[in-house]
Amino acid sequence: MIKSQDSGVSGVRINGEVPLSEMFGYIGSLRTMTSGRGQFSMEFLHYSPCPRNVAEEVIKETKEREEAKKKK
């Protein structure tokens, strides 16, 4: 979610909140979109409950791994 956007002489600064899982690979996309000039930083803000579909997928994958271990 974008919280603010400020224009300056050297570019635009965008402040927002994003789940950590969505940030993997972002630097490559940012550099592609900005011809290598874009930069970003991030800091922890807070924990949030994960969406139900994500929780269900994690639980399913964990159960599958546990079952695979039992079969070995």
- Domain extents in the chain: 2-71
pLDDT score, position 21 = 87
Is the pTM value of this prediction over 0.85? no
Please give the structure tokens belonging to residue 71: 């079969």
Question: Closest by alpha carbon to 45, among 21, 16, 6, 23?
Answer: 16
E strand residue ranges, 1-72: 2-8, 11-16
pLDDT score, position 6 = 94
pLDDT score, position 15 = 94
pLDDT score, position 11 = 87
What backbone torsions phi and psi does residue 12 show, to the nearest 5 degrees?
-120, 135
Q: What is the pLDDT along the chain (72 residues), one digit of tens a residue?
A: 999 999 988 889 999 999 998 899 999 999 999 999 999 999 999 999 999 999 999 999 999 999 998 887
